[in-house]
Amino acid sequence: MATLYTEKSKNIWKTWLYITIFCLFVIGIGYIFSYVMNSYSILVIAVLLAILMSFGSYWWSDKLVLAMNKAVLVSHENNRALYHLVENLCITAGLPVPKIYIIEDLAMNAFATGRDPDHAVICVTRGLLEKLDKMELEGVLAHELSHVGNRDILLSTVIVILVGIITLLSDLFRHFTWFGGGKRDNDNSQLAGILTIVALILSLLAPLAAILIQLAISRKREFLADASGALLTRYPEGLASALQKISGDPNPLRSANHATAHLFISNPFKKSGFINRIFSTHPPIEERVKALIQMDVENEKFKNKNEK
């Protein structure tokens, strides 16, 4: 029976499979648009613009996110309990201790950000600290540290670049088509017309497809962080219980916005429904809890087997 231990390895190769598909998708879209517009320089310009835009977010995203959420830095002196929890987990995981921040909000949530383990940040809300017990809080912190250890921050930046390239190419193609530019003169007019229609349809659908691929990768990384966090604490039930409490908490995060929602351990908007489920950056809490509980059952079976 599959558990999060086996799902961890599956999530890794599935994530890289999605990225490979994503890269091929970008190349294919870029080639079609450039061919129809008879200008391959458009593809080069779009790639450079997307990389430059994402470069800034990679280096300064942590400061921007912390400022938007009005997070306050935690020191060893003003919150020893939280600092020691993070410190002990970092020692176990072999990670440097990140900067720790608190958002003064009764909503229950947390996130990790920063460009690498040496410049990482972990942020929790006041509501999370007040409503979770020690084991549950440790599970949440381990999950966020796993995002740091698994280099999810770098991966998400790469995905943002790819989505940005597709969006820019789509916008540029529609602009050139609208003003009648970039037509190929040496091609069969019927074939050129068909390719133009296909490219126009792709320009409308490609950004949506790119977002869906991005969401699929993001959800896989959440399952991977759950697995890694549970392995770190050796207590899957702690994270499962924390996720159940977070899911049942009715308070939305007041400072939440769509640009940073994917960073949090749970959807900060507390919205449900079919459309929100499809476009959610996180897998359903119920599925994550079920996997963690199964992981706990397998742990008990393993212990009982060794005791006999």
CB atoms within 10 A of CB 301: 10
Task: List, for residues 16-50, the tens digit of each pLDDT value.
Answer: 777 777 777 777 877 777 777 777 776 677 667 66
Could you say which of 7, 136, 138, 144 is catalytic? 144
Torsion (CA) 171, 176, 179, 183 in degrees, nearest 10: -150
- The reported pLDDT for the residue numbered 3 is 46
- 145 has a pLDDT exceeding 80: yes
Task: List, for residues 213-262, the tens digit of each pLDDT value.
Answer: 778 878 888 998 999 999 999 999 999 999 999 999 989 898 887 767 77
CA distance 198 to 147: 39
Q: Where are the alpha helices (DSSP H) in 73-188?
A: 80-93, 126-131, 134-149, 152-178
- Cα 267 to Cα 151, 214, 264: the distances in Å are 21, 16, 7
Higher-pLDDT residue of 13 and 122 is 122
- 2 has a pLDDT exceeding 60: no
177: confidence class by pLDDT, cuts 50, 70, 90 = low
Q: How far does Cα 217 stand from its chain's mean position?
A: 7
What percent of the chain clears pLDDT 90, i.e. is strictly above it? 31
- 165 has a pLDDT exceeding 50: yes
- Full domain range(s) for residue 220: 4-307
CA distance 223 to 112: 15
130 in active site: no
> How many CA atoms lie within 13 Å of 213's alpha carbon, on the beta-carbon side?
25
Comparing 88-97, 110-119, 167-176, 212-221, the range with the smallest average pLDDT is 167-176
Contact 210, 164 (CB under 8 A): no
Q: How many domains does the chain have?
A: 1
pTM for the model stands at 0.77
- 56 has a pLDDT exceeding 80: no
Q: What is the mean pLDDT of residues 112-119?
A: 85
